[in-house]
Structure 1
Amino acid sequence: MTAVVFSPSKVMNLDEVQRKGYAIANTPTWLVLRSPHNAEETYLQNVAGVLMRVLSTSTFFEQKWLVTRIDATAVCPTPEAVAFTPEVITWYMPKHIDPLFSSDGIDAKRLDTEEMAARNYSVLFIEAHIIVAIPGGSHIQDDQYFVTYNIESMLEFLWIEEVAHEDTSYKVLFPITTPPMARPPQVCNYTVPEQAVFVLELGTFNLHVELLNITFPTMVLTVAECNARGFNVQEQRSPDNTLKTFRMEVPFSDSVVFKEVCFC
């Protein structure tokens, strides 16, 4: 290996490449090049309507009278490649190459089709893009309910060389963090006074949210304690199994209910 040319026309020898923070190595059949994010030699390019950061190189090998040149280009998504709602994060990857095989990864673990379905993940191939959709998360901040998303996802392309029986892989590691979006829970009152039971519904929440206890003016009760008193606290899920609400029925006669007699 004698030199690396970074597009458009920046030439470096091997020592210079390594001092710049790049890692480069080769075997008789492989060339591996790793680059820091936002390195000086990378540049932005619009690919199929998605803004990508690009590293384009030509590596030269000299052996007596023979010079071999290997061109390699890697692209990394930018934050503009991500769209999100309170329910789902969508990552658009330009389909500028036609992979023979693709897979997703999370927490350094490859996910098979069944695991992706269980997590409500999806990968969609269309004419210009590969679209990865993953449900969002949620958390509490200053006693307020927020929806956010934080994940280090990986999309892998794999070409299988049938003659040489060797694989060429291209992995896109893309940490994604969305800003917190406030989604205050809504309380719906379905009480019918003639039935002498308060009927309240609280929601909506993501599926991982659990109801632990309920605070009343005179006491704090766990869900189990509420049900033991006959409050009938239930968890209800949306038809598409992506969100949940909590329903509670409290009899007028219970001691947590304040009673007031009005004389007209």
Structure 2
Amino acid sequence: ILLYTPKEKCFDKETLQVMGYNVQSSPTRLVMRSLQHGRKPLSKMYERFHVPAYMSAAACPINGASVVGQMIYWQVPLHITPLVSSEVEILEVHMGFDGRRLTPDEMESRNYAVTFKESHVVVEIPIGAADGYYKSLVLEDQYHISYTIEPMLELLWKEGQEKTSYKVLFHITTPLTPWPPQVTDYTQPEQMVFDVLLGYFLPDVELLNITFGSELLTFSEIIIQGINLQEHSFPNDTKYFALQVSFSEPYVQIKVCISLLSITYILDLVFGFVILPEHTAFSHSVVLEASLADIVAVRTASTFVIYGSSQIKIHLGHLELNNKILQQYEHHSNETHFEIIVPFLAPVVAFESVQLAGIMGIIDVEIYDSLNNWRFREFSLACPFFIILSECFSNGTITVVLPKLESAPHLLPGELSLRDPSCKRSYSQDYYAYFHFGVTTCGTTRKIQRCSHQIFTQLLCNKEYRLARLRFYTNLRQMPVSLSNAWYNLRFFFSFPLLDMVYRLFYYDGDYPVLKFLKQPLYFEVGMDHSKDSRVAVVLENCWATLSKDKESKPRWDLIVDGCANPKDPEQTIFHPVIADDRVDIPDHFKRFEVKTFAFNDSFTLGNHFNSVG
């Protein structure tokens, strides 16, 4: 086959197919099809055995479609160069799709039309015809649509004595058309629910999320939270979304308008969509408003102003606000806001949890109209109060404030006691109890740790409620100890055990100095060997090493500081627990610790010293 591109060049069938041409033959016909933007398809076709050549040419329209209103007009010229070289006689005209001709009845039912002008054949197609399809697109975050269809036109004409059949399939896409979503509001304020429809969208649009005020929720999260959100489809292959949101949701804003004598509920929404399969995102914002009429302004005798109907009530906790209640609290108001300051021990505050760092308080607020049975707003305010609920004093006494918890509604603070039932509260009201007692009374227990001294007690109420109180003393000098009036003559011993972790075999005086390699562990024990008083305990306050037996000599290295391992020591002192056995009666009378061997400069002889308090 010779192609003129524009120079004459010969190609075989296989090469043409690689280039994108389609060449097929039968006993009576040879068909060649080329791409619209391929090489110029003018050719001479030769067959073997010296059969005369056949001249051929092809033409494909690249424009001619226009949109007027809701109709597409496609114009195809009657004289197609280079297919036609002279005047022709049109014998047949057919329209179809996907290579199939439509019958006259089919064309009439679909509102298609084919007409002739002086130089063109005009095909008329209504936008939205069933043989095409719509597509969603986004332009500058705005929703648009377009319509695409690919009609076929087939012409049969006679030129001289020869007949020619011409068939062309033409892809047509309409320009982008803005298609902003429409909001249909069915809200009835008396129902206290926003009820809206948002549409209409093509099937390739999916709703991903909705932002309520400042909170973004996905489709599934909205359903989980109990908000009614549904997707519906129409027979014309479009869809819409239905949303119902209660006026009591926290996202709804309330605005009181005195001049219009109404209360307005406002809901800001941003719908987030995506177009498939391209995953192109766009959004649409909606502001919903609903007003309740027949509202009057009421001013109380004090400075507190409530705007609303004469039946509007406000509940804080279990109390309804009135002039008498408001006199107990500091409050301020203007034309749009009301502020009230509530102490954490006020009766309207419910306590959710009590911890050493403080207490979590909750106030339930309800605004409603008792006449119309309208609940305008219900919400809870939760605030942490970082206050000291228990405190220890240097005179050996402890104070505790115990609020009544919401989780224990049957608790009566006046019936609380300490571990010792005879230790009652010093003062109480309906919502808290106050205790004041000594550290060695009311069934308290204590525990000596390496770096702290802890006092424990329990608050009891009919065996249903227990609250442990814990106090830390970070320094021995802060520890209040109340013993008997007798003076104690305490004797301490310091041991350098022989075997690690056993504390059974000890070095004797003749064994010193003991040779150890660097970083080998040294095990020490300090204790009282004569006291039998379980109320007394040994606390190592300070321990240090020197080069000589003189504890005031220099250089000096601290091993234990204020009862704890020296934080500056890279090889920190390790404390070992003491367990009662045949040698140890009272574990609190002993302290055991381990130190890694180290050196001052080049010397390996060490002296260890400690301060111990019982």
Shorter chain as denominator, the TM-score bin is 0.5 to 0.7
Deviation per residue, 1:87-131 (Å, 9 max, x gap): x9968597x8567x97639xxxxxxxxxxxxxxxx9887566596
Match 1:202 to one of 189, 198, 201:
198
Q: CA deviation at 1:257?
A: 0.9
Higher relative contact order (CA 8 A, sep 6+): 1
Deviation per residue, 1:175-206 (Å, 9 max, x gap): x4443322221222221111111111111111
Q: How does 1:148-227 map to 2 (within 5 A)?
A: 148=146, 172=169, 174=171, 176-227=172-223
Aligned partner of 2:65: which letter?
A: A
**Is residue 2:67 matched to residue 1:67?**
no
- 1:165 alignment counterpart: none
- 1:81 alignment counterpart: 65
Distance in 2 separating the partners of 1:90 and 1:241? 20
What SS class does the counterpart of residue 207 from structure 2 fall into? coil
The answer to whether the 8 A contact 1:4-1:60 is kept is: no
Q: CA deviation at 1:231?
A: 2.5
Distance in 2 separating the partners of 1:123 and 1:70? 40
Q: CA deviation at 1:236?
A: 2.3
The answer to whether the 8 A contact 2:21-2:34 is kept is: yes
Q: CA deviation at 1:75?
A: 3.9
Aligned partner of 1:180: which letter?
A: L
Match 2:98 to one of 78, 97, 104:
104
Change (3 A) 1:259 1:134: same
The answer to whether the 8 A contact 1:186-1:202 is kept is: yes
Distance in 2 separating the partners of 1:84 and 1:230? 48
What SS class does the counterpart of residue 233 from structure 1 fall into? strand
What SS class does the counterpart of residue 136 from structure 1 fall into? strand
- 2:30 alignment counterpart: 31
Task: Give the structure-2-normalised TM-score.
Answer: 0.28
Distance in 1 separating the partners of 2:111 and 2:256? 62
Aligned partner of 1:104: which letter?
A: D
Distance in 2 separating the partners of 1:13 and 1:253? 82
Match 2:236 to one of 230, 237, 241:
241
Deviation per residue, 1:71-91 (Å, 9 max, x gap): 56554462x336498xx9968
Match 1:251 to one of 246, 252, 259:
246
What SS class does the counterpart of residue 207 from structure 1 fall into? coil
Change (3 A) 1:173 1:126: closer
Structure showing the higher strand proportion among its residues: 1
What SS class does the counterpart of residue 217 from structure 2 fall into? strand
Distance in 1 separating the partners of 2:243 and 2:194? 8
- 1:115 alignment counterpart: none
Change (3 A) 1:216 1:125: closer
Change (3 A) 1:22 1:140: closer
The answer to whether the 8 A contact 2:201-2:239 is kept is: yes
What SS class does the counterpart of residue 236 from structure 2 fall into? coil
The answer to whether the 8 A contact 2:133-2:148 is kept is: no
Distance in 2 separating the partners of 1:177 and 1:200? 33
The answer to whether the 8 A contact 1:148-1:179 is kept is: yes
Q: CA deviation at 1:233?
A: 1.1
- 2:226 alignment counterpart: 230
Distance in 1 separating the partners of 2:26 and 2:244? 72
What SS class does the counterpart of residue 253 from structure 1 fall into? coil
Q: CA deviation at 1:137?
A: 0.8
What SS class does the counterpart of residue 221 from structure 2 fall into? helix
Change (3 A) 1:197 1:40: same
What SS class does the counterpart of residue 224 from structure 1 fall into? helix
Distance in 2 separating the partners of 1:25 and 1:236? 50
Aligned partner of 1:67: which letter?
A: P
Distance in 2 separating the partners of 1:190 and 1:177? 37
The answer to whether the 8 A contact 1:204-1:244 is kept is: yes
The answer to whether the 8 A contact 1:89-1:149 is kept is: no
**Is residue 2:141 matched to residue 1:146?**
no
Distance in 2 separating the partners of 1:92 and 1:60? 33
Question: Which structure has the larger Rg over C-alpha atoms?
Answer: 2
Q: What 5-or-longer segments of structure 2 have no aligned partner?
A: 77-89, 100-108, 116-122, 155-164, 259-296, 298-614
Q: CA deviation at 1:246?
A: 1.2
The answer to whether the 8 A contact 1:89-1:134 is kept is: no
Q: CA deviation at 1:27?
A: 4.5
Deviation per residue, 1:137-158 (Å, 9 max, x gap): 113333211213578x58598x
Change (3 A) 1:169 1:260: same
Distance in 2 separating the partners of 1:130 and 1:59? 36
Change (3 A) 1:126 1:70: farther
Change (3 A) 1:76 1:124: farther
Distance in 1 separating the partners of 2:110 and 2:74? 10
Aligned partner of 1:188: which letter?
A: T
Change (3 A) 1:250 1:102: same
Aligned partner of 1:253: which letter?
A: S
Change (3 A) 1:191 1:31: same
Aligned partner of 2:52: which letter?
A: V
Aligned partner of 1:172: which letter?
A: L
- 1:47 alignment counterpart: none
Deviation per residue, 1:201-252 (Å, 9 max, x gap): 11111122111111111311122222333321122223x3321111111111
Distance in 2 separating the partners of 1:63 and 1:181? 56
How many positions carry a matched residue from both structures?
213
Identity %: 29
Change (3 A) 1:226 1:28: closer
